[in-house]
Structures are given as structure tokens and as C-alpha cells.
Amino acid sequence: MLQARIVSKRGSLYFAAEATPYDLENLRTHIREFQTSKAKDVRLELSFDRMKDGAMDLHVSAWARRLASEGVQVSFLPTLEGRGATLRSATR
């Protein structure tokens, strides 16, 4: 599962979908709608559940790097699963 929050001077949008190439392109379309003349005016916060084989993780990472190279501010947030792992390791 992929969750994203787009924030721009034009507004904000929450997006949740499976982490498939189609859904990433759909999210990219929404990002374009929120862009102004400056790509850096758009902030994208992403979190996604890691896949066992890691192939989709690499695809999402490459996709996010392309957005960042275009000037979009991209940040990754931990998923609930990841936050639980962090909490467990911090309490040990």
C-alpha cells in the first residue's frame, strides 16, 4: 500500500493506492496538477509498505528520485509497521 500527501500553494491532496506502476503514474498526474511555475513549490510525503521481493521498493525509490530531480520536494515517512519496529528497537 502506498500513501502520499501532496502539499502545494494550490492546495493539498491525500492519495492511497497499491504501489503499482499505474498508481504511481496516477499520483504523478495529481502532482502535475498541483505544480506552479516552480517545481519546488510542491512537497510530496510518501509512505509505503515494503514488499518481500523488494522489486517494487526499487521502482518506487527510482520514481521518487526522478521527481526530486525535477525539483519536487520528496520525503519518505515511516509506515505504521515501520514505526512499530522503531519503537520495539528503541525500548530494548
**The pLDDT of residue 85 is above 50:** no
pLDDT digits (tens, 9 = 90+) for 3-12: 999 999 999 9
Domains contained in the chain, number: 1
pTM, entire model? 0.77
Determine the pLDDT at residue 73: 94
Predicted confidence (pLDDT) at residue 90 exceeds the cutoff of 60? no
33: domain range?
2-91
- Map grid coordinates 500553494 to a residue: 9
Looking at residue 8, its amino acid is: S
* Contact present, 38 and 81 (Cβ < 8 Å): no
Q: Summarize pLDDT for 42-82 with one digit per residue, the tens.
A: 999 999 887 666 777 888 889 999 999 999 999 998 765 54
Q: What is the pLDDT of residue 11?
A: 93
Q: Contact 77/46 with Cβ under 8 angstroms?
A: yes
Closest CA to 43 of 31, 26, 30, 25: 31
Evaluate if residue 32 carries a pLDDT over 80: yes
At 90, is the secondary structure helix, strand, or coil?
helix
What b/e sequence results for 30-45 when a residue is b if at least 16 CB atoms lie within 10 Å of its CB, and e otherwise?
A: ebeebbeeebebbebb
Q: What percent of the chain has pLDDT over 70?
A: 82
